[in-house]
Structure 1
Amino acid sequence: MFDFALFGSVFLTLFVIMDPPGITPIFLGLTSGRPAKVQRRMAWQAASVAFGVITLFGICGKQILDYVHVSIPALMVAGGLLLLLVALDLLTGKSDEPTQTKDVNVALVPLGMPLLAGPGAIVSVILAVQHADGWGGQLSVWAAIVAMHLVLGLAMRYSLLIIRVIKDGGVVLVTRLSGMLLSAIAVQQIAGGITQFIEGKG
């Protein structure tokens, strides 16, 4: 059975990490000067690249971890610390915005990866897939992943309209709120990993 609570949890976590409102001004900066048709194509290219990377780690993440002998609790703690760093950047506004380059397809790098499909999103997806119970849980997780990438594609696709509506102040506000939520998620993930270590599961 489809788990709406799990769907919402995974979707919210990825929304906070990938930050569609926050990525729109970066997308505009990286694609400025290009025709609107090219910008729209690059928006979906970036979302597709991110989805491909996330899907790869969602399917093969456990095998990769087993190969390098890394346990899930260790990944939870490391991922939590990484998310906390990202959250601090969101809260303080110190995250660096990449500059445009004409020699690289920015829809692939840096937009698709590592801005969208970054370590934080990868870790969260691996853990969500690992902890999903049965077909219903897996369906809920993957539906959230697909929905999140659709939102990302649409956010970048209509970035000009979004910026016109919420203005720069709105982007800053949403980014700060996302940082607060992400910091709480990070602390919870670290605590969960430490708890599993104490219980001997790591």
Structure 2
Amino acid sequence: MNLKLLGEVFVTLLVIVDPPGMVPVFLALTGTMDSRARMKAGTQAVLLALGVIVGFAVAGQTLLDYLHVDLPALQGAGGLLLILVALQLLTGKADEPAEQGGTTNVALVPIGTPLLAGPGAIVATMLFVQRAEGADEYLVIGIGILLVMLTVWLVLRFSGVIVKLLRPAGIEVLTRIAGLLLAAIAVQLIADAIDAFVQLYINAP
């Protein structure tokens, strides 16, 4: 097994996904849920993120080429989606009790994507796949992705301990802070997408 490649994939994706940084947003979106619903939301989010990343690793470039979509467009779309979620957190709408099926919705968007399976993780995975030579390296990349998702799941799984310590008032404060951080991430994603588009068209033949 190529341990160097495994380490590169694991460290790169772990830094991009940033499990500790995910905790405030995850708690802000699931703070009103009971522990069972929160665990279910975390599991669903990780499974969706795993499916999206593996899907793009296998057929991402082909899909984007078919749709005539550049990677910066994907990045910009993720940023716009995060802005909507950030506004909900900042205005307190995310604190309202979830309707039936709300757990699944929160798990899918925005936790599963674009927070976990965002443009950064997708692009990094696609680049690793393009560099891979042979089935053994594809397998190593797959193992690296699985290890990262397992790490994320463990972090989200035990985030309930933080909820017990913070109590409702602490969760409310954390929600506002998470909204502000999420808005900053969204603006950065959009700015990076604009910069990438400018560079793309400047360098176009």
**Do both share a fold (TM > 0.5)?**
yes
Aligned to 1:62: 61
Q: Classify the secondary structure of the residue corresponding to 2:147.
A: helix
Partner AA of 2:18 in structure 1: D
Instruction: Encode CA deviations 1:46-82: one digit per residue, 9 max, x unaligned.
Output: 1001111111111111312442567xxx86xx59xx6
Aligned to 1:130: 130
Aligned to 2:112: 112
Aligned to 1:29: 28
Instruction: Encode CA deviations 1:133-190: one digit per residue, 9 max, x unaligned.
Output: 11221111110001111111111001134787xxx9xxxxxx9xxxxxxxxxx9xxx9
Partner AA of 1:26 in structure 2: V
What is the CA-CA distance between 1:112 and the residue it aligns to? 0.5
Instruction: Encode CA deviations 1:74-97: one digit per residue, 9 max, x unaligned.
Output: 86xx59xx6xxx9xxxxxxxxx58
Aligned to 1:12: 11
Q: Classify the secondary structure of the residue corresponding to 1:34.
A: coil
Aligned to 1:89: none
Does residue 155 (structure 1) correspond to residue 166 (structure 2)? The answer is no
Cα distance in 2 for partners of 1:36, 1:69 equals 43
Q: Classify the secondary structure of the residue corresponding to 2:32.
A: coil
Moved more, 9-18 or 101-110: 101-110
Contact residue 155 and residue 162 of structure 1 kept, 8 A: no
What is the CA-CA distance between 1:98 and the residue it aligns to? 5.6
TM-score (norm 2): 0.64
Identity, % of aligned pairs? 39
TM-score (norm 1): 0.65
What is the CA-CA distance between 1:124 and the residue it aligns to? 0.9
Cα distance in 1 for partners of 2:149, 2:133 equals 23
Contact residue 128 and residue 141 of structure 1 kept, 8 A: yes
Contact residue 46 and residue 152 of structure 2 kept, 8 A: yes
Aligned to 1:44: 43
Contact residue 47 and residue 153 of structure 1 kept, 8 A: yes
Q: Which runs of 4+ in 1 moved over 3 A?
A: 160-164
Residue correspondence of structure 1 range 135-146 to structure 2 within 5 A: 135-146=135-146
Contact residue 35 and residue 160 of structure 2 kept, 8 A: no
| Gap change, CA 1:59 and 1:8, over 3 Å in 2 | same
Structure with more of its chain in helix, by fraction: 2
* Paired positions, count: 157
Cα distance in 1 for partners of 2:137, 2:87 equals 36
What is the CA-CA distance between 1:34 and the residue it aligns to? 1.2
Aligned to 1:179: none
Gaps of 5+ in 2: 80-85, 166-173, 175-180, 182-191
Contact residue 46 and residue 107 of structure 1 kept, 8 A: yes
| Gap change, CA 1:156 and 1:58, over 3 Å in 2 | same
| Gap change, CA 1:158 and 1:98, over 3 Å in 2 | farther
Cα distance in 2 for partners of 1:147, 1:52 equals 14
